[in-house]
Structure 1
Amino acid sequence: MKKIIFLGLIIALVGCSKNPKPVDQTAVKKYCESLDSLSNSAMTARQKGIALAEVLKVTDTVEGTVEQKKYVEEIIKQAFGETRFASAEFQEKAIVDFRNKIYLDCLNKYS
């Protein structure tokens, strides 16, 4: 029985790759749009001065693969690595630029 479970785990892991390329482009678009929303929230939180620890709590509620969960955490950390601006105009520009970067990265990674 243990050999069958072990074999099943090996087969499941072989199907996983560092950069999966889903065939369903609708699913890719939906996933990238969810990351766009996440990147907007993460960068908005960054620009408002909310603590990183508070924002990282969202990763506990993420559904998906381990890679996708790590990607979500990476996006949040990237947002908090960006400059925080005092001016509302620069804050909005930083948010839009960050959203565009994450959305494009997602499309390039999964399309």
Structure 2
Amino acid sequence: MGAGGAFFDYDNDDNLDLFLVNSGPIHGTAANTSDKSALYRNNGDGTFTNVTEQSHLDTLNGYNHGVVAADYDNDNDLYITSLGSNHLYQNNGDGTFTDIT
């Protein structure tokens, strides 16, 4: 099943970065541990760097369905929908996010 993606400028460098939500296993199927959501920083030269671990978004697991770059306090937050629960990650302004769900 497809997932979702959102372009947003999480590091305020005027380059649109990309967060991709990868779906986890469907109930009753084997898990693939490589299927995780990921944040890619736009390098400004047509390439992207995976910064998922550094941004503290590497703990997001589960069967995720979509993502929205919402900005409730003017710092490029992430709202992620998943089966069973939703998550709101606050942008800390230093390249990291905190789950404030």
Q: TM-score higher than 0.5 here?
A: no
Richer in helix (by share):
1
Rg larger for: 1
Superposition TM-score, scaled by structure 2 size:
0.32
Richer in strand (by share):
2
Superposition TM-score, scaled by structure 1 size:
0.30
Highest RCO, 1 vs 2 (Cα 8 Å, sep ≥ 6): 1
